[in-house]
Structure 1
Amino acid sequence: MATLHSVGRKILTYISPRVKEQSAYFKITRDISEAQFYLGNRFQELYLWQEVADRDMEVSRIENLLYGCFFHDDEEAMVEADREYMARK
């Protein structure tokens, strides 16, 4: 019989690998957006792009999220832009 275990008072939940991957893309996109558009911090931007390369992430997917969304804090807009990109791929 399978049971759900809890750690303290928090119930553990399953997060699919696809959702984890999408979340990682959204996070790095938001970080790059902040460094590039809001802070104008070229050093931080280059550091983040190097992280993209080190993690072997798709540059075109991140570029689509950067320039395909007006507001990077709008989760629904990010999901829609990513969904459209993945459908074209």
Structure 2
Amino acid sequence: MLPSSLCRGSSTSQQRKEQQLVMRLCKDIARAQFVFANPKRSKRLWDEAAALEIEPDRLLHLLYGGVDLDDPADLIAADELYLSQRQGYRRSPWVSRIFPTRRRQPSRPAQACVGSSGQRCLG
């Protein structure tokens, strides 16, 4: 947990909690991807971020923005900078494929084939 004095830019406790969660996820993702090179854990953490509806761009800004992940004040400053500069969050198409907003429709049943491989399938 971060000292509350470091979260001075956030006005409500809900925003402070969200910011702390974002920083924890960012550190965990960085550790999973860059230190341990663990794709399963990394995917699980990204899925957790999606389930919590945390903007992937927010995490990417912290991960690849040259921020010292071990310095809480630096993380808070970078996160607040990102939040102040964003103009309404809109998912880009590639993010929607990674973090789908709806569950996928069940796949259709396989087509039934009758006879040998030379015959047509019924569908």
TM-score (ref. length: structure 2):
0.58
What does the per-residue CA deviation read over 1:5-50, in whole Å, with 9 as the maximum and x for residues that have no partner?
A: xxxxxxxxxx711100100000000000000011111110011111
| Aligned: 1:50 with 2:47 | yes
Instruction: Note the residue ranges of structure 2 that are not aligned, 5 or more in a row.
Output: 1-11, 87-123
Inter-partner Cα distance in structure 2 for 1:20 and 1:70 = 20
RMSD: 1.2
Q: Is the 8 A contact 2:25 2:45 kept in 1?
A: yes
Q: Is the 8 A contact 2:67 2:75 kept in 1?
A: no
Runs of 4+ in 1 over 3 A off after TM superposition: none
The aligned residue for residue 62 of structure 1 is 59
| Aligned: 1:23 with 2:20 | yes
Higher radius of gyration, 1 or 2: 2
Instruction: Note the residue ranges of structure 1 that are not aligned, 5 or more in a row.
Output: 1-14
Matched length: 75
